[in-house]
Amino acid sequence: MKAAQLVQFNGEKGVSISEIDKPGVPDDGMLVEVHEAGVNPFDWKIRDAGGMGATLPATLGGDFAGVVTEVGRNVAGFKPGDQVYGMAGFFNGGTGSFAEYDLIDPRTAALTPKSINETEAGALPLAGVMAVQALEEYFRLSEGQKILIQGGAGGIGSIAIQIANSRGAYVAVTCAGDEVDYVKELGADEAIDFRERRFEEVVHDCDAVYDLVGGDVYRRSFQALKPGGIIVSSLEEPDDELTQKHQVKAIYQHFEITAERLGRLAQLVDEGVVRVHVERTFLLDSADEAMTFLETIHPKGKVVIDVK
């Protein structure tokens, strides 16, 4: 089978399209014919700099949507022919989803939402589960509460906006100027062009901040919170000094893809709460180009590798 493999940590030149053996199926795993594989920032970050436990050669890719072809004898809840989506086992020493077949841990997969196509399903897992985890497990916003989403036009932010809006929260978002209309269509009440204005001058008294940018943006975000508020960052460990000074709670969010969260995400999609916008698709042979496109062009929607 064909796979996009990282053969050296050296940017684009480090990726090769290789012919490798189809994985065997252990008792606790299942084989999935990958049809679509979403691209996330971590894919190009690993390609360019390694890390996250990658050992060479490594088949890249996390997000997938496809069809189960074989299940191990201990696997319950899935059968050949099921349409599934989820996260490949790259981070647990397994292989990635930029391949024609992938060995999947059933604990990181679920049946795909019924109301969207496979390309959209392939774009959803990591970004969607991050947003579900943050909004439903950390923030738990109620009607009228206020959230600031830093980096709202990105993969995670665009879904977080929709969930926050559905809970009746007031949603402020930072994004680039040409993304203002896009985030408002998704449900943002207020959009701040981060290249034109400093958000802390206009956004105050938030119950929650979801930081998807990090660095200086993370540190300045504390000024937008009210005492008792909460900041969750996908990039920064809690800053104790700022947390105490502003009397807020801070959490670093590390992704944890579970069947339950994927199931909840599918429900939100099928209820019409969440939709995902796919900006562009690439063929598996162009996996490198897909990662570079995400890294350098910063598209508004998701990038997906059309494997099938």
Ligand X SMILES: NC(=O)c1ccc[n+]([C@@H]2O[C@H](COP(=O)([O-])OP(=O)(O)OC[C@H]3O[C@@H](n4cnc5c(N)ncnc54)[C@H](OP(=O)(O)O)[C@@H]3O)[C@@H](O)[C@H]2O)c1
> Least distance in Å: CB of 158 to ligand X?
8
Provide the pairing of β-strand 30-39 with 302-306.
antiparallel
> Would you count residue 41 as binding ligand X (CB under 6 A)?
yes
Determine which residue in the list 151, 171, 191, 304 makes contact with ligand X, applying CB under 6 A: 151
Binding mask 232-271 for ligand X (x = CB under 6 A): --xx-----------------xxx----------------
Question: What number of other Cβ atoms are within 10 A of residue 193's Cβ?
Answer: 14
Give the pair of three-digit tokens for residue 45: 């970050």
Determine which residue in the list 31, 75, 124, 156 makes contact with ligand X, applying CB under 6 A: 156
Q: Which residue is nearest to ligand X (CB)?
A: 154
How far apart CA 101 and CA 67 sit, in angstroms, is 10
Give the pair of three-digit tokens for residue 235: 């990039």
Q: Which is nearer to ligand X, 65 or 127 (CB)?
A: 127
> Would you count residue 155 as binding ligand X (CB under 6 A)?
yes
How far apart CA 40 and CA 60 sit, in angstroms, is 11
Only segment of 8-16, 83-91, 100-108, 147-155 that touches ligand X (CB under 6 A): 147-155
Classify the C-alpha dihedral 275-280-286-291 as positive or negative: negative
> Least distance in Å: CB of 124 to ligand X?
12
Provide the pairing of β-strand 170-175 with 146-150.
parallel
How far apart CA 230 and CA 213 sit, in angstroms, is 16
User: Are the beta carbons of 102 and 32 closer than 8 angstroms?
Assistant: yes
Q: Which is nearer to ligand X, 144 or 215 (CB)?
A: 215
Only segment of 18-26, 40-48, 61-69, 283-291 that touches ligand X (CB under 6 A): 40-48
Q: Which is nearer to ligand X, 13 or 254 (CB)?
A: 254
Binding mask 177-216 for ligand X (x = CB under 6 A): -----------------x-----------------xx---
Q: Which is nearer to ligand X, 75 or 173 (CB)?
A: 173
Q: Which is nearer to ligand X, 20 or 176 (CB)?
A: 176
How far apart CA 232 and CA 219 sit, in angstroms, is 12
How far apart CA 248 and CA 2 sit, in angstroms, is 49
> Least distance in Å: CB of 73 to ligand X?
32
Only segment of 63-71, 117-125, 134-142, 169-177 that touches ligand X (CB under 6 A): 169-177
Q: What is the C-alpha R_g of the chain? A: 19
Q: Which of residues 269-308 bind ligand X (CB under 6 A)?
A: 298
Strand order in the sheet with 190-193: 190-193, 170-175, 146-150, 206-211, 225-233, 249-252
Q: Which residues pair with 85 in a beta bridge?
A: 65, 110
Q: How many of the chain's residues bind ligand X (CB under 6 A)?
A: 26
**Residue type for position 243:** T
Only segment of 67-75, 91-99, 168-176, 270-278 that touches ligand X (CB under 6 A): 168-176
> Would you count residue 42 as binding ligand X (CB under 6 A)?
yes
CA-based max dimension of the chain: 58
Give the interface with ligand X as residue ranges (CB under 6 A): 40-42, 126-127, 130, 150-151, 153-157, 174-176, 194, 212-213, 217, 234-235, 253-255, 298
